[in-house]
Amino acid sequence: NTKTLMDTSTYKSRVALTQSYKINNFVENICQEHNISNYYGAISVSIERIIELINSFYGNEYENKYITFCFEQCVGGVSFSIESIDEIFSNIIFDKSKELESESDINVFLISKLSDKIIVSENGKKIELLFFVNGIEPELLLQRQEKIKEFNSNRMHQNIK
């Protein structure tokens, strides 16, 4: 488990999939340190959903698998990326209007809705999420918060039936 704190605007860590919960702590600390706590919900849900896609890809065979988690502060926003040794994201289409037929579709939908830009690279081994946090319109932030509430409410309602 290798961690490298390069400076306050860049962070990189290699994390075992069995300990992926640590990434949530990294995200929380990064959001607090960079004064973007109001984006924590959108960022953390997006990252959690990426982890779920990775776990789904490996099934029960993720015991000795690692991912590299990176953060970078960019002009006008922040970037979070996750890289694997396998081409996990090569066949995933991040489409906000896709039908929600499976758990994977739900993960893709949420990542697409909550991120400003998604970049898949390294032949599908790496996914980068960009969040434009410098001067985001309050209306867009409220829309994203409402989407999360609506999704959670619908999901809870479905589980009650």
Write down the residue that tokens 């959690």 correspond to.
48
- Between CA 22 and CA 19 the distance in angstroms is 6
Q: What does pTM read for this prediction?
A: 0.76
pLDDT at 150: 84
**Ranges of the chain with pLDDT below 50:** 1-7
- Between CA 24 and CA 4 the distance in angstroms is 17
pLDDT at 45: 95
Q: For the sheet containing 77-83, what is the strand order? A: 3-7, 10-16, 66-74, 77-83, 126-131, 117-121
Token pair of 32 as six digits: 């607090």
- Between CA 134 and CA 117 the distance in angstroms is 14
Per-residue pLDDT tens for 123-148? 999 999 999 986 556 677 678 778 88
pLDDT at 137: 62
pLDDT at 159: 63
